[in-house]
Structure 1
């Protein structure tokens, strides 16, 4: 089995991406478990709300540059490679800093649940966290583009481990409050990102030198990324990032704390198909043979056991945080488990269509799912509670899977005729 994975580039890089996400998620699980046991619930709610907002800002403002890296870096010369990566990091992080600053100024005026952003410290924390997330996402895609996902694995394990150790040290020293959670979250991100840029990228592409020269020549490519990859990414990742924000806006930071823990626990399922989809797309851009059935088989083989574990033992897992998390999030977790199958179908199909250059089909499908999920979440939250977000996510993904099936049947019928 291991020899097969080692020989198969798609399986190998899918496994490395999943291992990276799983390792980071596992350490992240310990991170939030420590935070829940050492800090007050309101502090956890505030911190998760700010991190959720930062994730939305990063998603909106990273300009789709990660997928542009996957598309353009393979085969690029040293000079062009340096220019592409430099421009992507500077433009993506710069745009994130601007958008996060604007969000920190606007959101407190829109609702009392965002009052924690009124302080200058809250605004600074939002900007730093959002920029760190954007840099991390873009650097991950540099490794994926070169089918060198072992670098992504090492980087993310160091990042997640650094967060856990920093939080443990701060709480052991007697510090508390939401600021401790945010400091432990962002400081390792900045440190690992700096090390990656200074030490890891030159090893990945010998001779490469990052700098600001030639960024103007990259603007037309960034514009193309905005009109293609970025819109697809926004529609695809929008619900994932926005659901915690909507829960905060409608139910408050404390309810979002319960939602966030269940959502984070279910993420071990939702990480699989995006990982395989990214590896699948990288294979296609590197002109390697990669079939959709093979990618689907990898997803099904990996998601089955954890799905059964979370469905039947989810309450016990959430109870490790506290009985309150199990009581509030148990039903939500089971709903999210059911959504993993249609989510896998749509992720793989979007990667397949993207590799064929069918960007409009990708965008239409993702917009359909995002609109369904976010609209139903907003309408159902006040009356149903945090379970409404899970139900809406399940409905949105199911609608997308049905749309894929209908589209496939129609195209086969047209081809046969």
Structure 2
């Protein structure tokens, strides 16, 4: 089994990406358990709201550079590789910093529950957290682009372990506030990203050097990525990043703490299909033979058992944080587990269309699902509580999966009808053969194009048989 996975590039990189996700999520559980037991729920709610806002800012401002890395890095030389990576990181982190400052100025005026962002300290925390998320995400895509996801695995495991150790140290030192959660979340990410730039990237691509020259030449590619892949990414990842923000704005930070823990638990399932989709896209970019059915089989094998465990024992798992989290988020977790099936269908379909260059179809599907999810969440939250976000997510993903099924059925029907007509008219054309044109009498025989003219029947003198009975005419 392990040898087969090792030989299959798609399965190997999907497994490494998912191992990174599972390991990070497992350490994330430990991180939030420490936070839930050592800090009051309002402090956790405030910290998770700030982290959610930073996630949204990073998602909006990363400019779609990750998929541009997958497209361009595999076939470039060392100098161009260094320029692409350096320019992408610089542009992505700069855009994230500016967007974070704008968000810190706007959010407190739009929603009173985000008043904690008003002030220099909170603004600096939001900027640092968002920039750390952008840098970490872009560095992950560098490893995925080269089908070297083991680097991504070790990097994320070190980052998650650093978060747990930092939070344990800060709480042991007596810092029992939202600042402890934010510091423990952000500082290890910045440290691991700096280590990756200094030591990991030169091992991944020998000869790599940070390069600032040529930044202007990369703006054209960034503009193309912004209008193509980035819009797809925003519509695809937007709802998952905005749901905690909407819960905070409508219900408050305390309810967001209950929602965030259930959402984080279910994210183990939601990260499987994006991992396989990224590996599928990278395989096809590297001209490897990866098929959609094989990617679907990998997703089904990995997602089946965890989904069953979370659906049956999800309440007990939430109870590890505290009984209040299990009581408030048990039903929400079951709804999110059910949504993992259509979510996998839509993610793989988008990766397949993206590899074929059908970006407009990807964009329209993701925009439709995001609009349905966010609109229903905003309308249902006051009436149904945090379960409304799960129901809206399930509705949006199911709508997308149904549209994919209808599109696939329509294409099969069109192909079937076209092949039927082609067979009928093909056989008719074969039975009714056009007559050959008649050659006028006495005229020369036309020579076939590309062939020499026919030779006369009389042989040349040097080819006549040498015999005694031969006479010269």
Counterpart in 2 of 1:162?
Answer: 162
Q: For the residues of structure 2 that align with 1:111 and 1:241, how far apart are their CA atoms?
A: 17
Q: CA offsets per residue over residues 222-241 of structure 1, 9 Å max, x none?
A: 00001110000000000010
Q: For the residues of structure 2 that align with 1:150 and 1:402, how far apart are their CA atoms?
A: 35
The structural deviation recorded for 1:52 is 0.2
Q: For the residues of structure 1 that align with 2:118 and 2:331, how far apart are their CA atoms?
A: 34
Report 1:15-414 matches (<5 A). Answer: 15-414=15-414
Q: Which has the higher helix share?
A: 1
Q: CA offsets per residue over residues 66-91 of structure 1, 9 Å max, x none?
A: 00000110011001101110110000
With normalisation by structure 2, the TM-score equals 0.88
Q: For the residues of structure 2 that align with 1:31 and 1:104, how far apart are their CA atoms?
A: 26
Q: CA offsets per residue over residues 158-196 of structure 1, 9 Å max, x none?
A: 000000000011111111100000000011011000000
Q: CA offsets per residue over residues 104-148 of structure 1, 9 Å max, x none?
A: 011111121001101211111000000000000000000000000
Which structure ranks higher in relative contact order (CA pairs < 8 Å, sequence separation ≥ 6)?
Answer: 1
The structural deviation recorded for 1:412 is 1.4
Q: For the residues of structure 2 that align with 1:127 and 1:280, how far apart are their CA atoms?
A: 33
Q: CA offsets per residue over residues 34-68 of structure 1, 9 Å max, x none?
A: 00000011000000000000000000000000000
Q: For the residues of structure 1 that align with 2:138 and 2:353, how far apart are their CA atoms?
A: 22
Q: For the residues of structure 2 that align with 1:162 and 1:215, how far apart are their CA atoms?
A: 33
Runs (5+) with no aligned partner, structure 1: none
Q: Bigger radius of gyration, 1 or 2?
A: 2
The structural deviation recorded for 1:9 is 0.2
Q: For the residues of structure 2 that align with 1:72 and 1:25, how far apart are their CA atoms?
A: 30
Aligned residues: 417
Q: CA offsets per residue over residues 232-265 of structure 1, 9 Å max, x none?
A: 0000000010000000000011110000000000
The structural deviation recorded for 1:410 is 1.0
With normalisation by structure 1, the TM-score equals 0.99
1:73 is paired with a residue whose SS is: helix
Matched, 1:8 2:5: no
Q: Deviation above 6 Å: which 4+ runs of structure 1? A: none
2:74 is paired with a residue whose SS is: coil
Could you say what the CA RMSD is over the residues aligned between the two structures, in angstroms? 0.5
Q: For the residues of structure 1 that align with 2:152 and 2:30, how far apart are their CA atoms?
A: 20
Q: For the residues of structure 2 that align with 1:222 and 1:87, how far apart are their CA atoms?
A: 9
Q: For the residues of structure 2 that align with 1:116 and 1:283, how far apart are their CA atoms?
A: 44
1:144 is paired with a residue whose SS is: helix
Q: For the residues of structure 1 that align with 2:255 and 2:283, how far apart are their CA atoms?
A: 41
Q: For the residues of structure 2 that align with 1:115 and 1:227, how far apart are their CA atoms?
A: 33
Q: For the residues of structure 2 that align with 1:40 and 1:211, how far apart are their CA atoms?
A: 46
Q: For the residues of structure 2 that align with 1:295 and 1:302, how far apart are their CA atoms?
A: 11
Q: For the residues of structure 2 that align with 1:132 and 1:145, how far apart are their CA atoms?
A: 20
The structural deviation recorded for 1:220 is 0.4
The structural deviation recorded for 1:211 is 2.1
